[in-house]
Structure 1
């Protein structure tokens, strides 16, 4: 019992595996190599032979390179995080080294103050803690520089490494500085799976710093939502989610009879079929309103027929078509009802937004919306199933 527990305990020390491709790993390694090489070379040119005691590179730049080239999307790797964090830490480190004689106390205070300032100034950069320590423990050559240490080598190293990262990422087809990918417009729609406000509220409740931008996290969750949706919709065709046994009318039916059917059966649309059961149009409540064909606006002499007010051409989908293909039609083109046709082009059923949602949840239509029985309340109306 002890060995499995110990194994599980130490296994928790391992981070979760990353999903980075071999090509991206190689790109990161090569970028860090080039960035450090250029930073050292430029600093060498700037120093010349004026001081052989000063380092061309300070050790924290190695950690900064890991972030800039290995995790360029991280908030910790953005330009202001790098430059601001390193400069603040350098200035605080020099100050603590000058005014506190005990190196241990000066080191601890320099790191603690650096973190305290990086939070409100939004320049949190972990390698900056090492910059603060370097200012305190760097030796006589560093101490002799005083506050110039923040300019050279820290400032120059930081700026050159930053410039190298910007150029390298752009040359290799990546965005840096990173901008969170916009997923959706800000919304308070209660029907949305989640909103930006929901995400921010959860992060605030967790009260811990996550190494990801809120916008990126929103985009990732949105992508997961879409992928899960597609997976659940995979191989789900219209025939499995459509409503059958729906009422339909011929184009010669009077508008009064068609309206009576809509009201009596509490439905919003009727497919219009010809004698061959082909869909020639669709008539909805909006069609009646648009053409002034509601009972209060009609008189006894109104002889208009469904064919006079129906919407044409009508968008139809095939029974074999994947349900996933219907989402843009409902979401972007304003469709609420889509007639379904079979392989022969004949009317087979109807799909609504409700059908789409039920299909997403793999809920059989027959369980919640059984086919409507024939209700021939007007002689010109046929129940076509």
Structure 2
């Protein structure tokens, strides 16, 4: 606590200003502006489309209030598990139905609103459609006034379900145009590419999924993040910490500079000869201008057949010479990539870093740390 207070005194900021700091990790001004634009388009068009198809009038609710809350999740935090299509559509619709059900069977309005919301939470949890605005949808079904009461059991379908479907459809289109990932699909975890029962290399060391589960239990918290995304985030944190603490050595310093390459017009037999003669596993392929086009290995050459090198080469993993060499650890331990090609801004080959190069570099860094000046140097 004293460290925090001292820091605030140095910067001249009051602790009260903490209340106004962003609470979303990774939230930038640009992301917030995009969310505002998305909500503007989504809510406006949802109302217009419903009005176009179903007409307008005091007895016809074109759009229900929970759609505003759904829009916040859909456009501001599209990666949240609570903001995915099924939670929005299913959560709102099921919750509205629970609200109507409570109103139908419980005459006391105070008791009905409590039962309606609690039933909505239970139903959303059971159907894996948990969506916070669903609680508002249940309340709307209970206290929405004559227009909602007259709709009865049709209210969950129109306007709630129809509103939700239209809003999600607009959200998918908007995120596609703005090049955002929605519906959110977590990046697959590393897999063993060798057809054996071993875990992939990145998962054999460090924390394991059960460690994450144990930490969540110890914290007594439910986090609004996909389980796979949380695992990927923590591994990325490990990588950034490694780069920060051991990132002084660059790719340009560690790379091999005398790179064996082959042209796009080369033959499969010539490529095999180069790989075997130089005892290498990755052969960069360059075009007629000398720019990197891809890479070849024995795996690709096994599929060569009658087609040319250009048809079977793989996409090259590349790095810039000023990047920290330890940042290549995730690429070179994915079970498939054996070398990263170091290129300049025009994709001209400057060097190559193999798995052996990375291992030698990490060994050097660990040795340097072990025998740092603060430690006694053995005689």
Q: TM-score, normalised by structure 2?
A: 0.63
2:58 corresponding residue in structure 1: 52
The higher-RCO structure (CA 8 Å, 6+ apart) is 1
What does the per-residue CA deviation read over 1:197-232, in whole Å, with 9 as the maximum and x for residues that have no partner?
A: 322333244443211111111111121111111122
2:132 corresponding residue in structure 1: 126
**Residue 83 (structure 2) pairs with residue 77 (structure 1):** yes
Deviates more, 1:14-23 or 1:160-169: 14-23
1:114 corresponding residue in structure 2: 120
1:182/1:219 contact within 8 Å kept: no
1:278 corresponding residue in structure 2: none
Q: Decide which of 35, 38, 63 is 1:31's aligned counterpart.
A: 38
Q: Structure 2: any 5+ residue segments left out of the alignment?
A: 6-12, 193-198, 255-276, 282-321, 340-353
Q: Decide which of 222, 226, 230 is 1:209's aligned counterpart.
A: 222
1:228 corresponding residue in structure 2: 241
What does the per-residue CA deviation read over 1:223-259, in whole Å, with 9 as the maximum and x for residues that have no partner?
A: 1111111122222479x99xxxxxxxxxxxxxxxxxx
The DSSP-based 3-state class of the residue aligned with 1:45 is helix
d(CA) in 2 for partners of 1:139 and 1:121? Answer: 28
> Alpha carbons of 1:322 and 1:174: their partners in 2 closer, same or farther (altered >3 Å)?
closer
1:96/1:110 contact within 8 Å kept: yes
> Alpha carbons of 1:353 and 1:13: their partners in 2 closer, same or farther (altered >3 Å)?
closer
1:323/1:356 contact within 8 Å kept: no
Any residues of structure 2 matched to 1:302-321 within 5 Å, and which? none
2:261 corresponding residue in structure 1: none
Question: Which of 1 and 2 has greater Rg?
Answer: 1
Q: Post-superposition shift, 1:38? A: 0.8
> Alpha carbons of 1:326 and 1:222: their partners in 2 closer, same or farther (altered >3 Å)?
closer
Q: TM-score, normalised by structure 1?
A: 0.63
> Alpha carbons of 1:356 and 1:45: their partners in 2 closer, same or farther (altered >3 Å)?
same
1:381 corresponding residue in structure 2: none
**Residue 212 (structure 2) pairs with residue 193 (structure 1):** no
d(CA) in 1 for partners of 2:364 and 2:154? Answer: 69
d(CA) in 1 for partners of 2:148 and 2:169? Answer: 25
The DSSP-based 3-state class of the residue aligned with 1:179 is coil
**Residue 183 (structure 2) pairs with residue 181 (structure 1):** no
1:324 corresponding residue in structure 2: 326
